[in-house]
Amino acid sequence: MTAPASPSGAEAPVLQAVRLVVNGTEYALRVDTRTSLLDLLREDLGLTGAKKGCDHGQCGACTVLIDGQRANACLALAVAHDGARIVTVEGLADGDTLSALQQAFIDHDALQCGYCTPGQLCAATGMLQEVADGWPSSVTPETGPAHPIKLSEAEIRERMSGNLCRCGAYANIVPAIADSAR
Amino acid sequence: MRPFRYERPDDAAAAVALLAVSPEGRYLGGGTNLVDLMRLGVETPNLLVDISGIVGHEIDDRGDGGVTIGAGVTNSRLAADPRVRRDYPVLSQALLDGASGQLRNLATVGGNLLQRTRCAYFQDVSKPCNKRRPGTGCPARTGEHRNLAVFGHSGQCVATHPSDMAVALVALDATVLVRGPGGERVVALTELHRLPGDEPERDTVLRPGELITSIALAPSPVAANSVYRKVRERRSFAFALVSVAAALQMRDGAVSEVRLAFGGVAHRPWRASVAEAALRGRPASEPAFVAALDAELERAQPLRQNAYKLPMLRRVAVRALTELAEAQ
């Protein structure tokens, strides 16, 4: 049941078909089963917005939306997401019209080097939907599931803790997200 | 990373059958721990059996006030479930104190239970580790063990179990339904994870090829008054230095029922059964809480770098119990 061995003794890569809808476009590919969703997006589709920071799920720079939910593309195997709808930072704008969140990042100067920004934008987009859906966070007061969540600074910081910014632009990222949610 | 075949069987029986003939295979849930360990070279499966489509994705009412949680439910969905927030708040809070929002969206509850230790030596294939390669030694015991176990460790292994959710489930006396080559069986959460002893390579009592398909929570009046408290080196997105899952029920000022479990301190979630026994029937007061914690902490065997966990654990647990007593 092992993968067939190549003449050198190393096991040969296993290729598998994957279909994905990325930013509204359908793709059918054949990929090595080891390929992460992040590498597929960057290397196979040329969508280099999602960034490879740590490749261990610790920095959030690779965050994309999988079937509407934010997720670390570096830890997602492409073959395990066959049939999924993916949105990357390249798909957040509507043509030339930026999303409210993207515009708020510009208005608030919510970046310095910009490397973490695609992940911040995708994570915040997913996070705002989670808030709208009434999902609690670790700092949500336990007033019960029926009460709408107030998006305080503490809520934003807690909910965005999976996205690191080594420039330390948090001071502007937090107000940008708060502003876009108004 | 070693090449692997990827299979997505139609049902649990087919999944179990696939692994039964592939001892080097692994079940794949959300992949948030397994894929990382494969990238690090710690795990080297030649087959991944994706069970995310076949283990349950639903949180079902059992009809008796309890719930059954499919092993494929994501951490974020379980944390947000209104019944869980109302009837088992310690479980929702523990989930929300773990990982990050985007990881919780991928991670399944079955995978959460079976995640591996974050001991730095275990994750570094250039280092000896009895858990990763039995018989090679444990450099953590004499090396960096600041974050590691103070209860129940052995000469072979001082690793801690990293899950927050499992600590809450142990306090709630949850059970898991397991399917294996020999059929189905029920395992109590308090028995699922092991102490390392002289087999640190075995995290759990699961047999090769067994698959967790669901988690069951019985109705529990004490669980409605429960809390999870976690101390870490930064406020969010970090593993526990210590954590406490506590539930308390009182009658006439005395403890009628109490549940207490600790995270970040042992190879498994540590059910504080000595403290629980010391508290039942006693006044729900701070001196009684302190005395019960001191009795539990007598079982501890702190190492050179981690004795700080004992006073920290005492304070966090007494504070949690005091809050619960005031809330009743």
Per-residue pLDDT tens for B233-283? 999 999 999 999 999 999 999 999 999 999 999 999 999 999 999 999 999
B173-227 per-position pLDDT tens digit: 999 999 999 999 999 999 999 999 999 999 999 999 999 999 999 999 999 999 9
Confidence of residue A7 (pLDDT cuts 50, 70, 90): low
Place of tokens 């006030």: B65
Residue A101 CB-density burial (10 A; 0-12 exposed, 13-18 middle, 19+ buried):
buried
Q: What is the ipTM of this complex?
A: 0.96
Work out the average pLDDT over A57-61: 98
Strand-strand pairing, B254-263 and B242-251: antiparallel
Using CB atoms, pick whichever of B21, B32, B101 lies closest to residue A75.
B32
Judged against a pLDDT cut of 60, whether residue A4 lies above it is answered with no
Judged against a pLDDT cut of 80, whether residue B313 lies above it is answered with yes
- pLDDT at position A182: 85
Confidence of residue A142 (pLDDT cuts 50, 70, 90): confident
Percent over 70 (pLDDT), chain A: 93
Percent over 70 (pLDDT), chain B: 100
CB-based contact, A3 to chain B, within 8 Å:
yes
Paired tokens of A57: 């799920």
Q: Could you count the other beta carbons within 10 Å of the beta carbon of residue A106?
A: 11
**Nearest residue to A139 via CA among B164, B32, B101, B324:** B101
Chain A residue whose CA is closest to B20:
A1
Confidence of residue B47 (pLDDT cuts 50, 70, 90): very high
What are the Cα distances from residue B105, in Å, to B38, B171, B273? 20, 24, 33
- pLDDT at position B168: 98
Using CB atoms, pick whichever of B79, B86, B237 lies closest to residue A162.
B237
Rounded to 5 degrees, φ, ψ at B178 are: -120, 135
Paired tokens of A153: 């600074």
CB-based contact, A30 to chain B, within 8 Å:
no
Give B105's contacts in chain A (Cβ within 8 Å).
66, 69-71, 126
Strand-strand pairing, B59-61 and B183-188: unpaired
Judged against a pLDDT cut of 90, whether residue B317 lies above it is answered with yes
Residues 6+ positions from A53 with CB-CB distance below 8 Å: A59, A60, A61, A62, A115, A116, A119, A164
Question: pTM of the entire structure?
Answer: 0.97
Judged against a pLDDT cut of 80, whether residue A5 lies above it is answered with no
Chain A residue whose CA is closest to B2:
A11
- pLDDT at position A6: 54
CB-based contact, A116 to chain B, within 8 Å:
no
Can you tell me the distance from the alpha carbon of B1 to that of B44, in angstroms, rounded to the nearest whole number?
7
Can you tell me the distance from the alpha carbon of B150 to that of B143, in angstroms, rounded to the nearest whole number?
15
CB B265 within 8 A of CB B242: yes
Residues 6+ positions from B68 with CB-CB distance below 8 Å: B56, B59, B60, B62, B214, B215, B216, B217
CB B199 within 8 A of CB B190: no
Rounded to 5 degrees, φ, ψ at A80 are: -80, -5
User: What is the average pLDDT value for chain B, to the nearest integer?
Assistant: 97
Confidence of residue A168 (pLDDT cuts 50, 70, 90): very high
- pLDDT at position B187: 98
Minimal C-alpha gap between A4 and chain B (Å): 10
Can you tell me the distance from the alpha carbon of B38 to that of B31, in angstroms, rounded to the nearest whole number?
10
Work out the average pLDDT over B4-17: 96
Can you tell me the distance from the alpha carbon of B119 to that of B217, in angstroms, rounded to the nearest whole number?
30
Beta bridge partners of B139: none
Judged against a pLDDT cut of 50, whether residue A95 lies above it is answered with yes
Q: Could you count the other beta carbons within 10 Å of the beta carbon of residue B238?
A: 15
- pLDDT at position A1: 42
- pLDDT at position B251: 96
- pLDDT at position A84: 98
CB-based contact, A143 to chain B, within 8 Å:
no
AA letter at A10: A
Work out the average pLDDT over A70-77: 98
Judged against a pLDDT cut of 90, whether residue B25 lies above it is answered with yes
Using CB atoms, pick whichever of B4, B21, B100 lies closest to residue A14.
B4
- pLDDT at position B63: 92
What are the Cα distances from residue A116, in Å, to A71, A120, B98, B158? 15, 6, 22, 36
Residues 6+ positions from B236 with CB-CB distance below 8 Å: A138, A157, A158, A161, B100
Beta bridge partners of B207: none
Minimal C-alpha gap between B167 and chain A (Å): 16
Judged against a pLDDT cut of 80, whether residue B149 lies above it is answered with yes
Chain B residue whose CA is closest to A1:
B22
- pLDDT at position A2: 46
Q: What separation, in Å, do the N-terminal and C-terminal C-alpha atoms of chain B show? A: 53
Judged against a pLDDT cut of 60, whether residue B133 lies above it is answered with yes
Rounded to 5 degrees, φ, ψ at B255 are: -75, 115
